[in-house]
Amino acid sequence: MIKTFDDLIKAARRAGPKTVAVAAAQDRDVLMAVDNAYKYGIINPVLIGKRDDIEAIARDISVDLSGWQVIDTADKIEACRKAVELVATGRAALPMKGFVDTSVILKAILDKEIGLMTGRLLSHVGVLAVPGYDRLFVQSDAAMNISPSVEDKVHIINNAVEVAHALGNDMPKVAVICAVEKVNPKMPATVDAQQLVRMNEQGLIKGCIVGGPFALDNAVSVEAAMHKGINHPVAGRADVLITPDIESGNILNKAMEYFGRADKAGIIMGASAPIVLTSRASSDRSKLNSIALAVTVAGK
Amino acid sequence: MIKTFDDLIKAARRAGPKTVAVAAAQDRDVLMAVDNAYKYGIINPVLIGKRDDIEAIARDISVDLSGWQVIDTADKIEACRKAVELVATGRAALPMKGFVDTSVILKAILDKEIGLMTGRLLSHVGVLAVPGYDRLFVQSDAAMNISPSVEDKVHIINNAVEVAHALGNDMPKVAVICAVEKVNPKMPATVDAQQLVRMNEQGLIKGCIVGGPFALDNAVSVEAAMHKGINHPVAGRADVLITPDIESGNILNKAMEYFGRADKAGIIMGASAPIVLTSRASSDRSKLNSIALAVTVAGK
């Protein structure tokens, strides 16, 4: 089982190099991240966007484009559609967002003709290494679904579990996190949690053990779970942390990073290939982690 | 300004000892916490509950009751009502929950005849010291209000700001945390955040600077805020973290504790006195911190 980002990068090197279609590659940060992943032997990039701009930036930051394919496109919409088309037709393994708004690449991915959708829901899946914990946490959804229904949460769990499987965890422990451990009709998140646990028991959510509702402490601390008298295989031992909505998911992700000093990765799951959507504010290490995660997931 | 829990305990010693009415004191953990705070010179306890049980437990754990008042009551409901009455009539400075369900003591506090309500909303206010940060964070609401309206959030901010003032911060920076920095009508938390900022600008929320919506990183990291180009006095420098609902508040509080290894305190604000509501799972240090926080707030 992959328990550190160093191990994840090794796994990505074994699974790779994968061809990555970079939509709107005319950006310094994007080209540096791509070049870094290329040098690690994780990816072979196809750069899509304004050729002149890509070449000028590459010269400027001493990135050698000579071995890479560059596809010239008129605008960012076309660049996104081209990147998605390369993946849809098998000429690239996965798409990566470059210097373009998230909404533009998502529109191409969701496009019914060229797109990559297969009836699942797109969700953000984070992977975080918090110092002092013996495992990588898979966390979702921090970025895509504002107020998911219980049906949406089934997709969110399935997408997160697929990532856990790719990390070598065949039967991840999934905690549905709420504010409390008791089901309370006044707190819809707890009712959803109960229903998700039942669906797992009935075999409608497979490949994992779902527990909840849990407060966060009872999901990640065996001692806290024991204190509360919670006796469940997931209690205190969760690998996957599912939050009720975008606020709680985003806050958990960033609390792990900024207060827990976690190293992290993030990808979008739910399409026919994982999508790399690194943000400008991410560290170089975090961008490499995200590309390595996508390549490892795509390799399964 | 108080920046550590050691300083908070010193402040509580200066403000104290305060008389604390302990409702349903017949509990080992409660008596140990009370005895500890008494030995620090922070409180003078009045123990309310089953006298026989209190005395038996005190003997068992070698707590000397000789200097303390013990009020014998028939049941826990009466113990809670008596504790509240002592505070309402000025014979105690603040109430503390003992071995009784939170709902029972809250019912006594909310009781119109004997109670402690003054037209404000009750909310949980946490104070957390995360290693590596130069200040105590005030955080709310992790426990009381499930899905607060924007009017409720005004009370939640006021209660948290009162705590920040008691910590010696005359003009705390209040961040209204959401998943994103942009106001988006599809994300009601961001619309509330915008309204709260306006109310602060109009002088309807006083004694603080309110900023938002912020994602958590832009509230607590100057570097992250700069990366996003956010130029606001609260950005990256928040003292007070206000979350949209009980799930996000509880998750943030516990992420700071379990992932950020924060030392913490928590009290209920909004009544005519702060209420100590330590949970059984809290550490001895956290219980002492919470009592010290309540005494310091009551001393202002």
Distance CA A193, CA B223 (A): 36
Burial class of residue B183, CB neighbours in 10 A (0-12, 13-18, 19+): middle
A43-49 vs A123-129, strand pairing mode: unpaired
pLDDT at B280 over 90: no
pLDDT at A282 over 90: no
List Cβ neighbours of A84 (8 Å cut-off, separation of 6 or more): A21, A23, A95, A105, A108, A109, A111, A114, A115, A116
pLDDT per residue over A19-74, tens digit each?
999 999 999 999 999 999 999 999 999 999 999 999 999 999 999 999 999 999 99
pLDDT at A228 over 90: no
Are the beta carbons of A117 and A127 closer than 8 angstroms?
A: no
Cβ neighbours of A237 (radius 10 Å) = 18
Tell me, what's the pLDDT at A221?
97
Distance CA B253, CA B276 (A): 17
Partner residue opposite A178 with nearest CB, options B179, B220, B247: B247
Tell me, what's the pLDDT at B179?
97
Q: For chains A and B, what is the number of CB pairs under 8 angstroms?
A: 117
pLDDT per residue over A144-182, tens digit each?
999 999 999 999 999 999 999 999 999 999 999 999 999
- How large is the average pLDDT for residues A245-271? 97
The residue type found at B97 is: K
Residue/partner pairs of B148-156 with CB below 8 Å, 24 or more apart: B148/B121, B148/B244, B148/B245, B150/B192, B150/B195, B150/B196, B152/B121, B153/B192, B153/B196, B153/B242, B154/B196, B154/B199, B154/B204, B154/B205, B155/B120, B155/B121, B155/B123, B155/B270, B156/B121, B156/B123, B156/B242
Whether the upstream peptide bond of residue B75 has omega within 30° of 0, thus cis, is: no
Tell me, what's the pLDDT at A81?
97
Locate the chain A residue with the closest alpha carbon to B132: A259
| Nearest C-alpha neighbor of A217 from the set B141, B136, B124, B281 | B281
Phi, psi angles (nearest 5°) of residue A193: -60, -45
Partner residue opposite A260 with nearest CB, options B189, B217, B260: B260
Distance CA A156, CA A146 (A): 12
The residue type found at B192 is: D
The residue type found at B261 is: R
Is the Cβ pair A215, B186 closer than 8 Å? no
Which helix (H) or strand (E) segment holds residue B223: the answer is: helix B222-227
pLDDT at A280 over 80: no
Locate the chain A residue with the closest alpha carbon to B241: A251
Cβ neighbours of A6 (radius 10 Å) = 12
Distance of CA A18 to the CA centre of its chain: 17
Q: What does the mean pLDDT of chain A come to?
A: 96
Tell me, what's the pLDDT at B71?
98
pLDDT at A7 over 90: yes
| Nearest C-alpha neighbor of A128 from the set A253, A267, A292 | A253
Residues of B in contact with A212 (CB under 8 A): none
Tell me, what's the pLDDT at A297?
98
Tell me, what's the pLDDT at B281?
76
Give pTM, 2 decimals: 0.96
Q: Give chain B's contact residues with A (Cβ, < 8 Å).
A: 130, 132, 142-143, 146, 177-180, 186-187, 189, 215-217, 220-221, 224, 227-228, 243-252, 254-262, 280-281
- How large is the average pLDDT for residues B263-279? 95
pLDDT at B115 over 90: no
| Nearest C-alpha neighbor of A77 from the set A54, A51, A43, A50 | A50
**Residue A187's pLDDT band (cuts 50, 70, 90):** very high
Tell me, what's the pLDDT at A266?
96
pLDDT at A281 over 80: no
pLDDT per residue over A197-223, tens digit each?
999 999 999 999 999 999 999 999 999
Range name among A254-268, A279-293, B15-29 with the lowest pLDDT average = A279-293
- How large is the average pLDDT for residues B192-215? 98
Tell me, what's the pLDDT at A76?
96
| Nearest C-alpha neighbor of A214 from the set A246, A252, A250, A247 | A252
pLDDT at B269 over 80: yes
Q: What does the mean pLDDT of chain B come to?
A: 96
Are the beta carbons of A194 and A214 closer than 8 angstroms?
A: no
Please report, rounded to a whole number, the percentage of residues in chain B having pLDDT higher than 70: 100
pLDDT at B211 over 90: yes
**Residue B300's pLDDT band (cuts 50, 70, 90):** confident
Higher pLDDT: A282 or A231? It is A231
pLDDT at B197 over 80: yes
pLDDT per residue over A76-104, tens digit each?
999 999 999 999 999 999 999 999 988 99
**How far apart, in Å, are the Cα atoms of B254 and each of A198, A220, B249?**
26, 10, 9
Tell me, what's the pLDDT at A115?
85
Locate the chain A residue with the closest alpha carbon to B244: A247
Both structure tokens of B33: 């916490």
Q: How many helices (H) and strands (E) does chain B have?
A: 11, 11
Locate the chain A residue with the closest alpha carbon to B137: A259
